Amino acid sequence: MSENMKMMPNDIEVEKALICSILIDEDYNEKLRDINLKSDSFYANEHKIIFEAVQKLQSDGSNVDPLTLNATLKSMGKLNDIGGAAYIAELLGAVPTSANIRYYAQIVESKHTLRSIIGISTTTIEDAYSETIDAKDLLDRASSDLFLLSEQRSQTAPEKIDNAVISTVKQIEEWSKRTGSVSGIPTGYSEIDEYTSGWQKSALIVLAARPGMGKTQFALNLTMNACKLGAKHSIGYFSLEMSKNELVLRLLSMETGIPMQSLKKGRLSTNDWGRIPIAMKRLSDMNLYIDDSSSLNILDLRTKCRRLKKDKNIDMVIVDYLGLMETESGVERHEGISRISRALKGLARELEVPVLVLSQLNREVEKRPDKRPIPSDLRDSGAIEQDADLVMFIMRPEVYKIKDSEGNEQKGISEIIIGKQRSGPTGICKLFFDKNTLQFVELESNPEYQDMG
C-alpha cells in the first residue's frame, strides 16, 4: 500500500466488542462516565449510526438493549444503513461478557484521537503547501486545533463526596502541623501572608496595576522570596517583556543592594565588586527557571509548564504578562484573553501549583479620586476577574501625588490591594518600595519609612 493510501488508525473488531458490551451491560454508562465517547469516536459508519441511536435512547431516558436499539434505528430511518437487525444480532456475539468494556472504549477513543491528529496535520500540510495562509496564522490555527483536541480529551467524572472529605481533613491536619499562618508558598510579607496564608495550590492569582507601578519588580520580589524562604520552592518564570539578562540585572540589584543605575553604568566601588560573587552564588542556587520567549501562546506555555513539572517538579508558575500572550488568529481580543484566562486556571488545577499572572488595568482607575483599582478595571476581559481565585493590585500614592490623612507625602509607599479572594478576606497591605534597589520591603523593617514617621 502506498504512502498516500495508508489506512487511518482504527480497530473494527474492538468497536464491535464495545457496542456489544454496551448492549449487554445496563451499567455501561457509569463504567464509561470519564471516557469522552461520541459517534465520531467510531471509524465504521454503521457503528457511528448505532452509537447515535444509543445516545438518543440515553437522552430519552430509555434502556439500551437490542430491541430498543432496533426500534430507534427504524424510527430514525437508518436500520437498513447499518445492515438491518441481522447486523445487531451479529454484534451481540462479538464478546461473551462486558468485563473489558473500559479497555475497549479507551482503544476506540485513542484511535479517534490519532485520526483527529492526522486530520489537523493533513489540513495544515496542505495549507502550508498552498501558501494561501500566512505562516504565523497557520501555526496559530494548528496550535489552537491541537489544544482544543487536548481539552476535549480531558474529562472528569462526578465523585462521591467521601473521598474529598477524607483528603480535605488530611490537608487540614498537615496545615495544623505548621508553625505560623502560612499553609501555602510564603509571599515573604507577613501582612499579605496573614490575608492569603501564602500562595495556594491550584490557585490562579492575578497581579495587576497601571504601567509604572512596579508589577514586574514586585513579581520578582515574590519570586525571590518563594525561592529562598522555607522549603525553597522551585519557580517557572515566563517573561514575555524582558530578557533573562534584564531580569537577572534586577535580581542582582535586589540581592546586592547596589542601585540598579550603578550596575547598568558599571560604576561600582571595590566593596560593590565584593558583593557580586556572593549574590551570584545565591542566585545560582535558587531553583528558578526563566523562559524569556517574547512570543508565547497558551499551548506553548502549557507544554513548557508540564515539562518543568515533570523534570524539575516546579511549585509555582509566574507569567509576565497576560496582555503579551498570543491569542488565536481570527478571534476577537476579548474572547482570546478569556480563553487564555480559563486555560491558565485549568493549568493551575492540572499541575496543582499556584499560577501568578501579571495583567494591566484599563484607564478607568485614573478617573477615581483615590486611584485605587477594583477587579472590573482588569484590561481586555471580565473573564480574568471571574477565573481568578485571588486578584491583587499595586497602587503607589506618590505617583499620583496623593497625601495621607494627615497631609503628609507618601514617598515610597506601595499599597498592595487584595481586591478579590475566593477563600479569604480582602483588604490593603502597605509596603515600602526602594526605587534604587527595586526592593519591596515591609514598612516596619525600612529605616527610611521609620524616619518619615
198, burial (CB in 10 Å: exposed 0-12, middle 13-18, buried 19+)? buried
What is the arithmetic mean of pLDDT over 166-192? 79
Q: What is the pLDDT of residues 194-233, one digit of tens each?
A: 899 899 999 999 999 888 888 999 999 999 999 987 778 9
Q: Which residues pair with 361 in a beta bridge?
A: 378
Contact (CB, 8 A) for 171 and 322 = no
Which residue's C-alpha cell is 480531558?
154
pLDDT of residue 453 exceeding 50, the answer is no
Which residue's C-alpha cell is 495562509?
133
pLDDT reported for residue 293: 86
Q: Which residues pair with 393 in a beta bridge?
A: 208, 417
Q: Are residues 349 and 398 in the same domain?
A: yes
pLDDT reported for residue 179: 66
Give dist(CA 245, CA 283) in Å, integer.
13
Give dist(CA 1, CA 204) in Å, integer.
51
Give dist(CA 344, CA 199) in Å, integer.
15
- The number of domains in the chain is 2
The set of cell numbers assigned to 369 is: 479620586
What angle separates helix 135-153 from helix 101-130, to the nearest 10 degrees? 170
pLDDT of residue 156 exceeding 60, the answer is no
Helix, strand, coil share (%) of the chain residues, nearest 5 = 55, 15, 35
pLDDT reported for residue 378: 81
pLDDT reported for residue 2: 47
Task: Decide if 323 is inside a domain.
Answer: yes
Query: Any residues with CB less than 8 A from the CB of 201 and at least 6 apart, and which?
Result: 184, 352, 353, 354
User: In this prediction, what percent of the chain has a pLDDT beyond 90?
Assistant: 39
Range of the domain at 46: 10-150
Please tell me which residue, 210 or 379, carries the higher pLDDT value.
Answer: 210
Give dist(CA 218, CA 214) in Å, integer.
6
**Which of these three, 150, 170, 200, is where a domain ends?**
150
Task: Decide if 165 is inside a domain.
Answer: no
pLDDT of residue 315 exceeding 60, the answer is yes
Q: Are residues 144 and 275 in the same domain?
A: no
3 state DSSP class of 368: coil
Give dist(CA 399, CA 366) in Å, integer.
11
Q: Are residues 135 and 193 in the same domain?
A: no
Q: Are residues 295 and 375 in the same domain?
A: yes
CATH number at residue 360: 3.40.50.300
**Which of these three, 99, 134, 150, is where a domain ends?**
150
The letter for the amino acid at 125 is: I
Q: Are strands 288-291 and 235-239 parallel, antiparallel or unpaired?
A: parallel
Task: Decide if 162 is inside a domain.
Answer: no
Task: Decide if 269 is inside a domain.
Answer: yes
Mean pLDDT of the chain: 86
Give dist(CA 319, CA 305) in Å, integer.
11
Q: Residue 448: which of 437, 435, 432 has the closest Cα? A: 432
pLDDT reported for residue 90: 93
Confidence of residue 452 (pLDDT cuts 50, 70, 90): very low
Contact (CB, 8 A) for 392 and 357 = no
Indicate the pTM of the whole model: 0.70
Q: Are residues 283 and 412 in the same domain?
A: yes
The set of cell numbers assigned to 266 is: 558599571
The set of cell numbers assigned to 177 is: 502541623
Query: Any residues with CB less than 8 A from the CB of 383 and at least 6 apart, and which?
Result: 337, 338, 341, 342
Q: Are residues 199 and 141 in the same domain?
A: no
Q: Would you please indicate which residues are annotated as catalytic (active-site) residues?
A: 241
Task: Decide if 160 is inside a domain.
Answer: no
Query: Any residues with CB less than 8 A from the CB of 266 and at least 6 apart, and which?
Result: none
What is the arithmetic mean of pLDDT over 162-186? 76
pLDDT of residue 36 exceeding 80, the answer is yes
Task: Decide if 28 is inside a domain.
Answer: yes
Which residue's C-alpha cell is 427504524?
74
Contact (CB, 8 A) for 236 and 291 = yes
pLDDT reported for residue 310: 87
Task: Decide if 3 is inside a domain.
Answer: no
Please tell me which residue, 137 or 240, carries the higher pLDDT value.
Answer: 240
Q: How far is CA 43 from CA 271, 328, 363, 402, 428, in A?
A: 73, 30, 53, 68, 58
Q: Are residues 292 and 339 in the same domain?
A: yes
Task: Decide if 2 is inside a domain.
Answer: no
pLDDT of residue 23 exceeding 90, the answer is yes
Q: What is the pLDDT of residues 388-423, one digit of tens each?
A: 899 999 988 888 888 777 777 788 888 999 999 988
Q: Are residues 194 and 122 in the same domain?
A: no
Q: Residue 313: which of 289, 284, 297 has the closest Cα? A: 289
Q: How many CB atoms lie within 10 A of CB 186?
A: 24
Query: Any residues with CB less than 8 A from the CB of 225 and at least 6 apart, and which?
Result: 186, 187, 188, 189
Q: Which residues pair with 209 in a beta bridge?
A: 360
Q: Are residues 272 and 389 in the same domain?
A: yes
What is the arithmetic mean of pLDDT over 71-81? 93
Q: Are residues 218 and 141 in the same domain?
A: no
Which of 101-110, 136-145, 151-160 has the lowest average pLDDT?
A: 151-160
For 175: left if phi > 0, alpha if psi spans -120 to 50, otherwise beta; the answer is: alpha
Contact (CB, 8 A) for 260 and 313 = no
Q: What is the pLDDT of residues 240-274, one digit of tens each?
A: 988 888 998 899 898 888 888 888 888 888 898 99
